[in-house]
Structure 1
């Protein structure tokens, strides 16, 4: 006797196979002769043991469900698992369809600025000095020797879009990385893939363009990884940065790339981009009035990405929304772009200083307000004005420097927001004060003379003579004490002969 592995019943050895083929039913087991006569026809009408573990068709499952033969708990569990697997089959097919539309779902979830990127250079808006006919970039593109490039420009001016369109025009393999979340290992992987493509394509070499966004985020060691690959031609690099490449990129990398400057988009460019974006999805938006459109253009400040984000906010609002409330929401959603370590930091302090030097108090106060409202450190402005008090006002008004030092101390003690009043007081005074650069230019001339020959000795009459020996050597010989000569000053040589010049000090400008 054998113990059935399914129903745990004792079955004769000669009948165990028949028992299992009949799903452990209680039907009397025929003899060997009967089984021989029935042959295959008997087994063909009964489900096999495999039906316990493999999915059955719906017809088989339906017939089995109406069977009068009672099933053991093991059989019922097996049947339930089989039915569950059968019902999962349509879901697997749906999964395949889902995979096919995966990219479509990602595209629909992308922001409006990403969905509306132009697909060709003809649709690209702005930067006519780069994309216009006869430009250097278009000439290089036509010759097929674009080489590696650095795109330097403010956010939202089209750096990423232009790089993608260039790769599309040249039929190159386009790889995109961001320096914010990538490292040397990612670059090496792209390079190895590019080498493999070059080896496979042979003479008709297919180039690989690596677009590295925010390339200035790579440190000097990371930037050096590109040098051998660019020299050997394995890779073409297009880097995008919002920072000055002269300060953020190594000289070796810049020497292997062409730097193209992208300007901030004009109001006409932003208007064209927004108008085209509205016409694409649907031409009718009653709440997108000319006033709202002009506000979007003004608030974007030449940033196409910001403009399209504001447009998306407008389009998602109800058609009957209050225009004033909508405008207030747009203004609140835009943050001021000011980097205290970037170019705008130095550009604005330069504008402030030059406005003071040009005696333009209104312009100087405007740039001061721009800096302080954006979060600039007031001590930085105060220190710069201390320098301005001596450099530009100088001898024309000796009260300028004490006032600048008092303002610096006030900023240290009081702080923002009250110290903005002290700074406004100082800048207004300096802008309206008379100007003189005699001291500043006089020192510059003296410095140039001192660098001509730094080994020229001090004249003996001007040397110090604290000992008898030094006096015997002629130190301080011929020196006349000026207070002893009330009306006529003695004539003596105050500088080396080579430095004596009537133009040592600049003329007076008042």
Structure 2
């Protein structure tokens, strides 16, 4: 069975790797480590198709140690024990390098089996993962490794790999021609995934060769074989939370264009519920008392979106996002409740003042409940009396925000509590 084009073109030297210049450019830490020849325990973290396995292979090939490969999706405890058993053999006398792909799929016990040998240097671990290792890798393993983050490859860098792939294909299929714009389109449509781009090249070439004696890779065909969108998304992964975080921070920062961009990426992936929840949170957390009606309007937009479903849901959600971006901002309510919760969690709550306790039962007066309570409406809406427990009587949680609505409320507060003639 013929190897996929992506495997045939897998770089064998660092100079052939596209992208990851922040790691592999001359003078960068990872490049220096590789060239230095001493291999520490490492974890490569990043999305699929960006060179993690390629770089790991290059490093492993440079090592003067026995190389073993495991994949976390299929590896068992027995596989790990078999590798450990090789440490006492002639081949393992200098230690071994274990390249462990998709380490996040190993359970805690499997990862623990490696600890002793990683720590004493018998096994050098080079692991790769598409998931955040700080969430999915056992802490004891993580603390013994250096994490390097791989990023999606930029389109110009992907295009280098795509053009190289077409040159290789042209050698195999003489007469193959490629229309202008094909390489660029594939490079931009792969979402920074070089493997995806090379797979698209392979499909395009095979289609052209099978359909004509004079094979031509056309732009129209490239659009058909390329995946629909470059949008990376995983509802359970980092990208999901990164997009939601970017959406909220863009709303908070009053940048409606950025917020609409992140909303579009979430909706384009088919996720409707997550952005709805986050937008509703923003209405209270970030706009809050500066525009109290925002949460009412946003809730209405979200209800409409949920009833409509996609694609029409995009319209009321866009309204909600633009409204929140252009509205005045206040987090005073959020700060206030967090401050109150902090006191409660520290055990600072005290007893409810007696005059505030429930007095609607027989014997309440004998217990001193509700005695001395002043009914504010009998005093024009406000009367001075203590509401907080004695231990917290002077505590201030809420501070009026510097926006029109809250400043109007503050002015009313001052007016309400100003001494009245009859109270002098």
- Name the TM-score class by shorter chain: 0.7 to 0.9
Other-structure match for 2:339 = 445
Other-structure match for 1:73 = none
Q: Whole-Å Cα distance in 2 between the matches of residues 261 and 183 of structure 1?
A: 26
Matches within 5 A, 1:32-431: 109-141=2-34, 144-197=37-90, 201=93, 205=94, 207-280=95-168, 282=170, 287-316=177-206, 317-318=208-209, 319=214, 321=216, 323-332=218-227, 337-376=232-271, 378-431=272-325
Other-structure match for 1:67 = none
For residues 55-103 of structure 1, the C-alpha deviation after alignment (integer angstroms, 9 at most, x for no partner) is: xxxxxxxxxxxxxxxxxxxxxxxxxxxxxxxxxxxxxxxxxxxxxxxxx
Q: Whole-Å Cα distance in 1 between the matches of residues 170 and 65 of structure 2?
A: 34
For residues 348-382 of structure 1, the C-alpha deviation after alignment (integer angstroms, 9 at most, x for no partner) is: 12222223223333433332222122121x22322
Quote the offset at 1:455 in angstroms: 5.0
Structure 1 333/492 Cα, relative in aligned 2: closer, same or farther at 3 Å?
closer
Contact 1:130/1:136 (CA < 8 Å) preserved in 2? yes
Query: Helix, strand or coil for the counterpart of 1:177?
Result: strand
Q: Whole-Å Cα distance in 1 between the matches of residues 82 and 6 of structure 2?
A: 29
Moved over 6 A (4+): 283-286
For residues 118-156 of structure 1, the C-alpha deviation after alignment (integer angstroms, 9 at most, x for no partner) is: 222333333233223333334444554422211101111
Which piece of structure 1 moves more, 218-227 or 466-475? Answer: 466-475
Q: Whole-Å Cα distance in 1 between the matches of residues 38 and 22 of structure 2?
A: 19
Contact 1:141/1:170 (CA < 8 Å) preserved in 2? no
Contact 2:175/2:215 (CA < 8 Å) preserved in 1? no
- Unpaired runs of at least 5, structure 1: 1-105
Which piece of structure 1 moves more, 349-358 or 209-218? Answer: 349-358
For residues 17-44 of structure 1, the C-alpha deviation after alignment (integer angstroms, 9 at most, x for no partner) is: xxxxxxxxxxxxxxxxxxxxxxxxxxxx
Contact 1:382/1:407 (CA < 8 Å) preserved in 2? no
Tell whether 2:370 aligns with 1:480. Answer: no
Structure 1 499/270 Cα, relative in aligned 2: closer, same or farther at 3 Å?
farther
Contact 1:210/1:236 (CA < 8 Å) preserved in 2? yes
CA RMSD of aligned residues (A): 3.0
Q: Whole-Å Cα distance in 2 between the matches of residues 487 and 346 of structure 1?
A: 46
Contact 2:41/2:146 (CA < 8 Å) preserved in 1? yes
Quote the offset at 1:179 in angstroms: 1.7
Q: Whole-Å Cα distance in 1 between the matches of residues 298 and 266 of structure 2?
A: 18
For residues 465-509 of structure 1, the C-alpha deviation after alignment (integer angstroms, 9 at most, x for no partner) is: 456766456544443111111176234454545462556425334
Q: Whole-Å Cα distance in 2 between the matches of residues 412 and 132 of structure 1?
A: 48
Other-structure match for 1:458 = 352
Contact 1:437/1:508 (CA < 8 Å) preserved in 2? no
Q: Whole-Å Cα distance in 2 between the matches of residues 298 and 432 of structure 1?
A: 32
For residues 205-260 of structure 1, the C-alpha deviation after alignment (integer angstroms, 9 at most, x for no partner) is: 2x321111111122223322222332343322211111101111111221122211
Q: Whole-Å Cα distance in 2 between the matches of residues 263 and 335 of structure 1?
A: 14
For residues 254-281 of structure 1, the C-alpha deviation after alignment (integer angstroms, 9 at most, x for no partner) is: 1122211112222232122233344456
Structure 1 122/322 Cα, relative in aligned 2: closer, same or farther at 3 Å?
closer
Structure 1 225/130 Cα, relative in aligned 2: closer, same or farther at 3 Å?
same
Query: Helix, strand or coil for the counterpart of 1:369?
Result: helix
Q: TM-score, normalised by structure 2?
A: 0.82
Query: Helix, strand or coil for the counterpart of 1:327?
Result: helix
- Unpaired runs of at least 5, structure 2: 405-424
